Amino acid sequence: MSAKLRLLVFVLPLALTACEWFSDFKRQPSLWTWEPVKDSLTPSRGQPQMSVPTSGTAVAGFQVSYGAFPATIDSMAGLRNPTPASDSSLANGRKYFQINCAVCHGDRAMGDGPATRFGMPGINLTSDVTKARADGYIFGMIRNGRGLMPPYNRIEEMDRWDVVNYVRALQGVGGKTVAIGPLAAPGVTGDKVPGATTLAPQQPEPFYNPRSVLPGAQQSQPQPPQVAPVGSVPGQRALPLPAASDTSRSRPDSAVRTRPNR
C-alpha cells in the first residue's frame, strides 16, 4: 500500500466523524435550553434574572430519567413523602384517583375498574406486594409509568403525593378512613375537577453566574431584586428594579450617543 493510500485510509474516517462541516437554517450549531456545553472550560449558562424557578420538591428530570424502567422507579423509592395524610390531602387524592386511576384499579383500588371489562388486566393496589412498596416508589410509578401503567404527569407533583396518601388509606395503612367512589355525577365541574396549575413561577429566581464555578473564580451570592418603595411617587406601584450587580439592562456612558443641538 502506497504512502498516499495509507494516509487516506487514516485521515478519511477522522474527517467524516470529527464534525459537521456544513450547516443551514435547519441544521446549525445550537444549544438546547439548559444543555451543558461540551467544552470542559465552559459551564452551562445560568438561569436569567427573574426567570422561572428551577427548584422542585422531588427530583428534576435531569436527575432521574422519565424512562419507564424498573431501575428508574427503584431509584425514586427513597423519596420522602412531604405531604401528611391530612383530611384535605386525602380529599384531593380521592379526586385525582377517581379521575385517573379508578378506571383501571377500581374505586377501592382492588383491580376491578370498568376498563377490565374490555381486556385490561386488573392490578390490585391493596395486595401485600404493593403495601410493601415505598411512597416514593408509588410516586415514581405515577410519574414515569411502567408496563401497562402509562405516565400520569398531568397530575402535578404535589397532587401525586395526595394520590399516594389516598392509596395508602385504601390499603388500610395509617388507620385512615376515606370516602370511596365518584365525587359527583359526570359533567359536574367546579371543585370536582383539577384547578389552575401550581407549577407557574411564584417568586423571582436569582441569577447565578455559571462562570463562578470555574477554578479560581470568586464566589458571590446572588443579589435579590430591589423593589421601589410604594408611595415614593404618587400613583406609583411597586416595580422590581435590577440588582446592583445586574448590568445587563444598562449601557456604559461611552455607548450612549447624544444628538448635538442645532
Q: Render each residue's pLDDT in the chain as its tens digit; 262 residues.
A: 677 676 666 666 655 555 555 556 666 666 665 566 666 555 565 555 555 554 455 666 657 788 888 888 998 998 999 999 999 999 999 999 999 999 999 999 999 999 999 999 989 999 999 999 999 999 999 999 998 999 998 898 889 999 999 999 999 998 889 999 999 998 999 999 998 777 665 555 556 666 666 667 665 555 554 444 444 444 444 444 444 444 444 333 333 344 444 4
User: For 240, phi and psi rounded to 5 degrees?
Assistant: -70, 135
Query: Which run of H or of E encompasses 241?
Result: strand 240-241
For the entire predicted model, the pTM comes to 0.58
CA distance 153 to 163: 13
Residue bearing cell 456604559: 252
Would you call 51 helix, strand, or coil by DSSP?
Answer: strand
- Residue 149 DSSP SS3: strand
Give CA–CA dist 165/91, Å, rounded: 10
CB contact at 8 A, 85 and 234 = no
Tell which residue, 58, 29, 55, 32, has the closest CA to residue 45: 32
